Amino acid sequence: MSDLPKEWECVSLTDFVYSVPTGVPKFSGNRKYYSTGSIDGKEFIPEGEYSFDNRPSRANRVAKEGDVFQARMQGTDKALLIHGAMEEQLFSTGFLQLRPVAETYLSELLFYFLKSDFFLKQRDELATGSTQVALTDASADNLQLVVPPLPEQRRIVVKLERLLHRVDASKERLDKIPAILKRFRQSVLAAVCSGRLTKDWREKNFPHPALSATLSQRARELDCLPLPEGEGRGEGEGLPEGWELIELANLCKGFQYGTSTKSQTSGKIPVLRMGNLQNGKIDWTDLVYTSDDKEIEKYRLNPGDVLFNRTNSPELVGKTSIYRGEKPAIFAGYLIRIKNNPSLDSEYLNYCLNTTFAKEFCQQVKTDGVSQSNINAQKLGTFPIPLPPLPEQHAIVRRVEALFKKADDIETRYKKAKGFVDRLTQSILAKAFRGELVPQDSNDEPAAALLERIRAERGRQEPKKRGRK
C-alpha cells in the first residue's frame, strides 16, 4: 500500500507473524475440537472432545494464548482470537494459525487485520485447489501485512473495539426488526378475522342486516367450531353483529386443481408452482413455463384468483397467495384455485387464509405422508371463514393494505440500514489499516525499527541453529 503514513510499513506477513505448522504434540486426557464449521458469528461450538489417539484426522492444530486463526477457504470470514478456555484445544487444519512475534505486533490487531478486506482479498487471490479452493501454507508466505508503530497499534485496537462494539449493538437491534414486522403483520391479520380491525368503522356505519337465512342456519350448524385467535363466545363476545362463520365451500363455485403436465425451462407463459407462493403474494422468480395452448386455456389465471398450496412439507402445506394479474400465467398441480362467489372478496379471502387461525386449521385437517402433507379440496372447503358483509370486507382490505404498506416501508428502510451497517465494519477496518482511524504521534518508534530488531534477532539465532546440525 503506497498511501500509508510514513512511520508505517507494509511487509511480508511472515516478517512479524509466525505461521504455525500443522502437527499436534502427544497429549493426555480429552480436548475440545473446533472445525471451521464450529464458528457461527460470535458463537464457537466444538464438534466434540477427543483424546490424542481418537481425534479426527483434521484435528491437527493446538491453540496457544494470543494465536489468531482464520479459515483458509476462499470466500469465508471466520477469524478468531485465542484466549481463556480455548487455549490448548484442538483446531482443524482448515484454519491458518498465526502467532505474532512478541512485542512487535498485537494479537488483537492481527485479528482485526485478518477480518479486513485487505487481507481477505489477498487470501482469496492466493487460494488454489480444484474441489476446495483454499490457501496453502506455501501461499501464506506471500501475504502482506500492514504494520503501524507499536504504540499506535494499541491506540487503534482501543478505537476499533469501541467502534465495532457500537456496530455490533446496531446489528443486534436491526436483527430484531424482521421478527417485529412478522408479529405486526400477523397481528393485523388476526384483527381481520376477529372484527377488531374495523370496530370503529362499524360504529360509524349503520349495522348491516344479517346474511341470508340459509347462511345463518349454516353458521348455527358450525357453532361448535372455534373462533379465530381464541375469541370467546360468552355474553358480548364472539363475532361482530352481521358477521357469520361459514364453511368456505358455501361461498365458492368450486375448487380447481392445477395442471399435471410437465413444465419446461422456457415457453409462452409461466406455470406457477408452490415455491412461487410467498407471504400471500406471487414470487415471480424461479419460474417454469408452458407453450401448450390447451393447458393455457384451461388453467389461465384471472386477476383475483386465490391459490392454495395443497401439498408441501407439514409446516408449509396450506400456503396461500393471490394472483393480481401481474403477467399471464397458469398454475401447477400442487395448487388449488379457489373459485369464490362475488359475496366473498378475494383479497379478504387471501388475508384470512394467511392468518394463524387458518394455519392451525391446516395442521388439524392435513393428511401426512412420508415427507409431505396434503389438504384436498374437500377438506379446504370445510374451512370456517369469519364472513362480514361485503362493504366491511372492502373496508378491511383497504385497512390491511394501508398497514402492510407501512410495514413494507419500514422493511425497505431496514434493508437499507442493514446494508449500510453491514458495510460499516469493513469501512472502519479500511480506515484503521490506512492510518486514518487514530492520529499519528511523531514520538512513536517507527515500524521499520521493529522490523530491524526482528531481523537482527533472527540473524543471531541462525548460527546457533546451524551449529546444532
Decide if 459 is inside a domain: no
| pLDDT given for residue 302 in this prediction | 95
Tally Cβ neighbours within 10 Å of residue 371.
7
| Residue 456 is assigned to a structural domain of this protein | no
Dihedral angle over CA of 437, 441, 447, 450, nearest 10 = -130
Residues 132 and 249 placed together within one structural domain of the fold: no
| Helix, coil or strand: residue 342 | coil
For the cut 50, the answer to whether the pLDDT of residue 363 exceeds it is yes
Confidence at 462, pLDDT banded by 50, 70, 90? low
In the chain, the amino acid numbered 311 is T
If asked whether residues 380 and 265 sit together in one domain, one would say yes
- Pair 250, 134 in one domain: no
| Mean of pLDDT over the chain | 89
pLDDT at 224 > cutoff 90: no
- Measured CA distances, 38 to 153, 259, 270, 445 (Å): 29, 45, 42, 40
Segment (H or E) for 167: helix 150-175
> By CB neighbour count within 10 A (0-12 exposed, 13-18 middle, 19+ buried), where does 372 fall?
middle
Under 8 Å between Cβ of 241 and 256: no
d(CA 316, CA 308): 11
5 vs 144, 150, 440, CA distance in Å? 16, 14, 8
- Per-residue pLDDT band at 150 (split at 50, 70, 90): very high
What is the predicted pLDDT for the residue at 227? 46
Question: What's the DSSP call for residue 135?
Answer: -
**Element (DSSP H or E) covering residue 137:** helix 137-140
Q: Is residue 106 domain-shared with residue 245, that is, in the same domain? A: no
What integer is the mean pLDDT of 26-42?
90
Query: Does some domain include residue 427?
Result: no
Our count of domains for the chain comes to 2
Name the domain boundary from 388, 406, 433: 388
Tell me if 137 sits within 8 A of 13, measured CB to CB. Answer: no
Compute φ and ψ for 392, nearest 5 degrees.
Answer: -75, -35
Domain-located, residue 180: no
**Helical (H) or strand (E) element with 400:** helix 390-432
Domain extent, residue 125, equals 9-145
- pLDDT in the model for residue 461: 63
| 125 lies in the same domain as 245 | no
Q: How far is CA 354 from the centre of its chain?
A: 22
pLDDT above 90: percentage of residues in the chain: 76
Residues 216-226 as b/e (b if ≥16 CB within 10 A, e otherwise) read: eebbeeeeeee
Does the pLDDT of residue 113 top 70, yes or no? Answer: yes
316 and 373 Cβ atoms separated by less than 8 Å: no
CB atoms within 10 A of CB 73: 18
Residue 2 has a pLDDT of 63
Q: Which residue has the cell 384455485?
A: 337
Is the CB of residue 338 less than 8 Å from the CB of residue 248? Answer: yes
pLDDT tens digit sequence for 36-94: 998 887 788 999 999 999 999 999 999 999 999 999 999 888 899 999 989 999 999 99
In a domain, residue 393? The reply is no
Phi then psi for 270, rounded to 5 degrees? Answer: -70, 155
Of the three residues 82, 110, 145, the one that is the final residue of a domain is: 145
314-345 residue pLDDT tens: 999 999 999 999 999 999 999 999 999 999 99
Q: Tell me if 288 is assigned to some domain.
A: yes
Local confidence band at 463 (pLDDT 50, 70, 90 cut-offs) = low
Please tell me the distance from the alpha carbon of residue 29 to that of residue 26, in angstroms, as a whole number. Answer: 10
Q: Are residues 274 and 384 in the same domain?
A: yes
Cell for 188? 393485523
Q: Is residue 276 part of a domain?
A: yes
pLDDT tens figures, 255-265 = 999 999 999 99
DSSP string of 102-119, one letter each residue = TTTS-HHHHHHHHHSHHH
Q: Clarify whether residues 248 and 384 are in a common domain.
A: yes
Give the other-Cβ count within 10 Å of 79's Cβ. 22
State the CATH number of the domain containing residue 353: 3.90.220.20
pLDDT tens for each residue of 397-446: 999 999 999 999 999 999 999 999 999 999 999 999 999 999 999 999 99
Torsion on CA atoms 350, 351, 355, 360, rounded to nearest 10: -20
Residues 249, 120 within the same domain: no
**Euclidean distance between CA atoms 124 and 142, whole angstroms:** 12
Average pLDDT over residues 353-360: 94
Domain boundary among 91, 125, 145: 145
- The per-residue pLDDT for range 159-182, each reduced to its tens digit, is 999 999 999 999 999 999 999 999
381 domain-assigned? yes
> d(Cα 427, Cα 460) in Å, to the nearest integer?
41
pTM of the model: 0.74
Instruction: Name the percent of the chain lying above pLDDT 70.
Output: 91
Higher-confidence position of 81 and 228: 81
pLDDT at 365 (0 to 100): 96
